[in-house]
Chain A
Amino acid sequence: MQGGILLPRLDRAGLAFGAVALGLAILIPVLNLLVSTDSPFHVPPHVVALMGKYLCYALLALSVDLVWGYCGILSLGHGAFFALGGYAMGMYLMRQIGPRGMYGHPTLPDFMVFLNWPELPWYWLGFDQFWFAALMVLLVPGLLAGLLGWLAFRSRVTGVYLSIITQAMTFALLLAFFRNDMGFGGNNGLTDFKDILGASIQADGTRSALFAASAIALALGFILCRWIVRSKLGRVLIAIRDAESRTRFLGYRVEQYKLLVFVTSACMAGVAGALYVPQVGIINPGEFSPANSIEAVIWVAVGGRGTLIGSVIGAVLVNFGKTLLTNALPEVWLFALGGLFIAVTLFLPRGIVGLWTGYWTRRREKQAASITTQPVTEGQ
């Protein structure tokens, strides 16, 4: 925009979001750990874990919004990046079990002993180190997104075809991870975790710390996304979304932009998955289910695509609704989700945030109109 701004603009929305997330990261653990269980303000541990799960979903939704809302890439496979990040963390947690497994093998996880694996496969090496697992949480989803994006964007695969490819990718991974000989625990996945970074995964303190880590990761993800979308890069992304060939004829290599944002987004989804797994205590191939990826897109649509904050609101609200509804009427949930998607598409094309900003714009316009007409009415 216009104006000679020398310093990088202070991002008020990003800072405000960071402050709220940081507040939650402190408040919820305090209410859980320091407030007595008799107090009405006490937050029970299972609620802490539930809220931590919502925040991981919110980070996943944020990553979907970055590619879909700003660059027009409708990924129906982001759940795969989430699950891969989750598996990388799960592998670390499995190796932390050590000889405490049911079969008491010093290095092999239980499922490998059960399936008569002679030794740890090469791709499990290194996962006993947290730093290595953390690196893989970013690297594996990032590389997969880089490879898929490089092939697809270079060949100018766009729109529904790209969506189908991403959907096929997550489905292929679902089938692969179901296989026992892949070495990822087959359909049971990875579970029975004991420790994370030396702390018991069941302890209240660990749960609170994981919640705080999720809140901070979400805040960092939000600030990163704000930085991207407010830079010139973000304006090029919107340009690509609105008129891809015009952007190309202006000299921008569209595929480079798409690839950069797709890989960034996949890494964010990977981090979300990695924080999700220790809080729910299991990762299995079901996380690759195409329905999960579609659900993430619905969260963004409900909250309002292309707004960032909308994706966070959408993810938390829809999942809160899911928790309530699956407790009361489990069989109704999928119908409710489908109905919600149709309703949002028909009546709220810009989502909850769009409804809110639309209301304020109309109100301001009405006020502006009444101010300009006032002198006339007074004169009469």
Chain B
Amino acid sequence: MSTRPDPQHTQLYLDGVSVSFDGFRALNNLSLIIMPGEMRAIIGPNGAGKTTMMDLITGKTRPDKGTILFDGDTDLTQMDEAGIATLGIGRKFQKPTVFESHTVWDNLDLALAGKRGPFASLFHRDGADDDRILSILDTIRLSARRHVLAGSLSHGQKQWLEIGMLLAQEPKLLLVDEPVAGMTDAETAETARLLREIAQTRSVVVVEHDMTFVRDLDVKVTVLHEGSVLSDGSLDHVSADPRVIEVYLGR
């Protein structure tokens, strides 16, 4: 292993992270570093630990051992989901998860960065952040559908709305789990454009199976296998790695 950079300058720092569920080692001594402003694609066969890794970073699961640092000094293993979210980590689920009985507008309004306590919500005044919502609607191409219930959007539009909600949170780091699953080719290309646009101002980690999409993103790729990093580098580099071909691409 090469010398690791000082965690102080990293956006996300995972070192020696392991977690087991009923004896099954979902993550095995995983180490990974994401720099500020970096976009990284993570690939790997089913069960490689991709979603578990996201669960650990976002506080849904606690690691058995290892270090997870945000901004170089904040220990994420001691915080809950809400705390980590307000710190500046946004998470997009594999299955699009939006508030179906709220309008597109209200979905974004709820996601906007701001006070999160119940009393702050009770006395919240509407209308102060309209410009911000309008600009996000423009970015995710849903301006025309802003008063429609989120439940009546198409699958692709729900994915974009969820990405828009993450933007509204103004995170420093965005974790995106299989954003183009079930999308048409046109929607996939549009999503790649959207993510590249987002990555200009923040770090993004994308988990994806779709190789065309990963190629479209044109970023450094990390291959996970059995809970640890198998290989990393450009897509061409990892595709040529014989170990990767054996466990993943060659199947």
Contact = CB atoms under 8 A, between A and B. Distances in A.
A238 B127 contact: no
Contact of A236 (B110, B146, B169): B110
Interface string B128-144: 00100100000000000
B86 interface: yes
A249 B81 contact: yes
Given A238-B101, A253-B116, A246 B121 contact: no
Interface in B212-231: none
A3 to B, nearest CB: 6
Nearest to A260: B118
B82 A253 contact: yes
A363 to B, nearest CB: 19
Interface centre among A6, A228, A235 (most CB of B within 10 A): A235
B235 to A, nearest CB: 29
Contacts of A247: 99, 110
A5 interface: yes
B121 A238 contact: no
A248 B85 contact: yes
B122 interface: yes
A236 B102 CA distance: 10
A235 B150 CA distance: 14
Interface in A165-219: none
Interface string A215-247: 000000000000010011101101100110111
A251 interface: yes
B130 A2 contact: yes
A250 interface: yes
A235 B110 contact: yes
B166 to A, nearest CB: 9
B82 A248 contact: yes
B98 A250 contact: no
B105 A239 contact: no
User: Which size class do B's interface residues fall under?
Assistant: 35 or more
Contacts, number: 97
Nearest to B97: A246
A368 interface: no
A81 B106 CA distance: 33
Given A5-B127, A239-B102, A239-B110, A252 B97 contact: no
A60 B245 CA distance: 64
A232 B122 contact: yes
B98 A248 contact: no
A238 B99 contact: yes
Interface in B33-81: 58, 60, 80-81
A5 B126 contact: yes
Contacts of A246: 93, 97-99
B236 to A, nearest CB: 34
A161 B228 CA distance: 36
A242 B96 CA distance: 13
B118 to A, nearest CB: 5
Interface of B: 58, 60, 80-82, 85-86, 90-91, 93, 97-103, 105-106, 109-111, 116-119, 121-127, 130, 133, 146-147, 165, 169
27 contacts: A1-B105, A1-B126, A2-B133, A2-B147, A5-B127, A228-B122, A232-B124, A232-B126, A233-B118, A233-B121, A238-B101, A242-B102, A243-B97, A243-B100, A245-B60, A247-B110, A248-B81, A249-B90, A250-B110, A250-B111, A250-B169, A251-B82, A252-B116, A256-B117, A257-B121, A260-B118, A260-B119
Ordered nearest first, which 8 A-B pairs have the shortest CB separation? Answer: A251-B85, A232-B124, A233-B121, A251-B86, A232-B121, A233-B122, A248-B81, A4-B127
Given A243-B98, A253-B80, 13 more contacts: A1-B103, A1-B126, A2-B130, A2-B146, A3-B127, A228-B122, A231-B123, A232-B126, A233-B121, A246-B97, A247-B110, A252-B116, A253-B82
